[in-house]
Chains A and B, each alone.
Chain A
Amino acid sequence: AQKVTQAQTEISVVEKEDVTLDCVYETRDTTYYLFWYKQPPSGELVFLIRRNSFDEQNEISGRYSWNFQKSTSSFNFTITASQVVDSAVYFCALSEAFTGGGNKLTFGTGTQLKVEL
Chain B
Amino acid sequence: EAGVVQSPRYKIIEKKQPVAFWCNPISGHNTLYWYLQNLGQGPELLIRYENEEAVDDSQLPKDRFSAERLKGVDSTLKIQPAELGDSAVYLCASSRGQGADNEQFFGPGTRLTVL
Contacts and interface: CB of A to CB of B under 8 A. Distances in A.
Tell whether A pairs with B: yes
Nearest to A107: B42
A104 B91 contact: no
Interface stretch (B16-24, B72-80, B93-101): B93-101
A102 interface: yes
Contacts of A63: none
Contacts, number: 82
Contacts of A104: 45, 48, 56
B42 A33 contact: no
B106 A44 contact: yes
Interface residues of B, number: 32
Contact of A100 (B50, B91, B95, B104): B50
Interface stretch (A14-22, A45-53, A71-79): A45-53
Interface string A42-68: 111111001010000000000000000
B109 A110 contact: no
A43 B30 CA distance: 23
Main secondary structure of the interface of A (DSSP, over half): strand
Given A44-B106, A100-B55, A102-B48, A31 B100 contact: yes
Nearest to B105: A47
A50 B50 contact: no
User: Closest 6 A-B residue pairs measured CB to CB?
Assistant: A107-B42, A97-B100, A101-B98, A45-B106, A102-B31, A44-B108
